[in-house]
Amino acid sequence: MTRYALRTAATGVLIIFGAATLVFFIMRAAPGDQALVLLGPDATAAEVAAARTRLGLDQPLPVQYWHYLTQLVTLDFGESYRFGQPAVELVLSRLPASVELTLTATVIAMAGVVLGALAGAYRGRWIDRGISGFALTLYSMPPFWIGIMLILVMALQLRLLPSAGVGTPAHIVLPALTLAAPFTALLTRITRSSVADTMAEPYVQRAYAKGLSTREVVTGHVVRNAATPVVTVGALHVSTLLGGAVIVESVFTWPGLGSLLVTAVTNRDYSIVQAAVLLIAVIVVCCNVAADLIAARLDPRVRLGAKA
């Protein structure tokens, strides 16, 4: 188990390094740079060149990359040229709002596990058809569209909930629902197929043959076996959730990491983009490492290194 945990953690570190490298080169490959955005379209060539020297953009790419990596180790991403503050501070100041939003959305999305388990246990019955249809509908709608519809109906027409900003607990309802929608649908679908597959396993039949009731069979044999794929796939899609947060935060002007990231990308604010993307990468990797460890706890074949 310890060896397994160490191996999983090492893979995680490698992935974070990869993400850091990718974001560095993608930002530089995108047309336009900080100097152009900062000075505007009227700037002369000499002014732009001067600004580039000041920002260190005139140096060869490998040198910039090396500089970036050495800073990275000390968690120093430099200052945001726009806000004049260290990027790490800015990003961390936005983190709590994002965590609040994504956690709320995750809790709402847990309804998908319950719905999916019900649908899977009663596969083919009307309850399964209803839940599956609901999940498919939810899954087909783009989150930003759900967001706009929610604003239209709940905020503008019914005037039940605020449509933007923060302040009261009511402010989180619409963005959290929007963010939770695709994740709920996803969890419903994974849980449904996982539970349905497990119910069809011969060991479940055998459990019935031992005289166990449906409740005892489900709690004793189905839940644990069906949980592994749900945990693994669910964690994989934490990135979907964070990606969704970027859009949802912009739609609802939620002061989180996502809206900061969108502004920073438009402004070519490299330090902020790099810090934010790296933070998101760390969160995603941590979630996946945690999921792998949970899966190993659930399934002795993973833990004890089975061949089959």
Partner 1 sequence: MSRMSKVTDQVAAELDPEPAPLLQVEHLSIDLPGPAGPVRVVDDVSFTVAAGRTTGLIGESGSGKTMTASAIIGLPPPGAAVTGRLLWHGDDMVTMAEQDRRRLRGRGIAMIFQDPQAALDPTQTIGRQVGEILRRGGMPAKEVRRTVIDLLDRVGIPDPQTRHAQYPHQYSGGLRQRAMVATALAGSPELILADEPTTALDVTVQARILALLRRVRDEEDTAMLLVSHDLRVMAHVADEVVVMYAGRICEVGSGREVLNSPAHPYTRALVVSVPAVRSRTAIAEPLPGSPASPAERPSGCPFHPRCAKAQDRCASEVPRMRQVAAGRQVACHFPEET
Q: Which is nearer to partner 1, 161 or 223 (CB)?
A: 223
Q: Which is nearer to partner 1, 60 or 211 (CB)?
A: 211
Q: How far apart are CB 109 and partner 1 at their closest, in Å?
A: 25
Q: Which is nearer to partner 1, 3 or 159 (CB)?
A: 3
Q: Which is nearer to partner 1, 100 or 299 (CB)?
A: 299
Q: How far apart are CB 121 and partner 1 at their closest, in Å?
A: 12
Q: Which is nearer to partner 1, 220 or 243 (CB)?
A: 220
- How many residues make contact with partner 1 (CB under 8 A)? 24
Q: Which is nearer to partner 1, 54 or 206 (CB)?
A: 206
Q: How far apart are CB 287 and partner 1 at their closest, in Å?
A: 22
Nearest residue to 299 (alpha-carbon basis) of 225, 218, 219, 220: 225
Q: How far apart are CB 232 and partner 1 at their closest, in Å?
A: 15
Binding of partner 1 by 33 (CB under 8 A): no
Q: CA 162 to CA 50: how far, in whole Å?
A: 46
Q: Tokens at residue 118, please?
A: 């019900």
**150-188 per-residue burial string, b: 16 or more CB within 10 A, e: under 16:** bbeebbeeeeebbbeebeeeebbbbbbbbbbbbbbbbbb
**59-94 per-residue burial string, b: 16 or more CB within 10 A, e: under 16:** eeeeebbeebeeebeeeebbbbbbbeebbbebbeeb
Angle at 190 between CA 110 and CA 196, to 5 degrees: 110
> Quick one: how far is CA 161 from the chain centroid?
25
> Quick one: how far is CA 117 from the chain centroid?
23
SS3 212: coil
Strand partners, 86: 79
**164-203 mask for partner 1 (x: CB under 8 A)?**
-------------------------------------xxx
Q: How far apart are CB 125 and partner 1 at their closest, in Å?
A: 10
**Interface with partner 1 in residues 196-255 (CB under 8 A):** 201-203, 205-213, 216, 220-221, 224-225
Q: How far apart are CB 303 and partner 1 at their closest, in Å?
A: 9
Angle between helices 2-29 and 270-298 (to 10 degrees): 150
Binding of partner 1 by 300 (CB under 8 A): yes
Q: Which stretch binds partner 1 (CB under 8 A): 50-58, 77-85, 168-176, 294-302?
A: 294-302
Q: Which stretch binds partner 1 (CB under 8 A): 7-15, 37-45, 128-136, 300-308?
A: 300-308
Binding of partner 1 by 36 (CB under 8 A): no
> Quick one: how far is CA 109 from the chain centroid?
13
Contact 134, 209 (CB under 8 A): no
Report the interface residues with partner 1, using CB under 8 A: 201-203, 205-213, 216, 220-221, 224-225, 298-301, 304, 306, 308
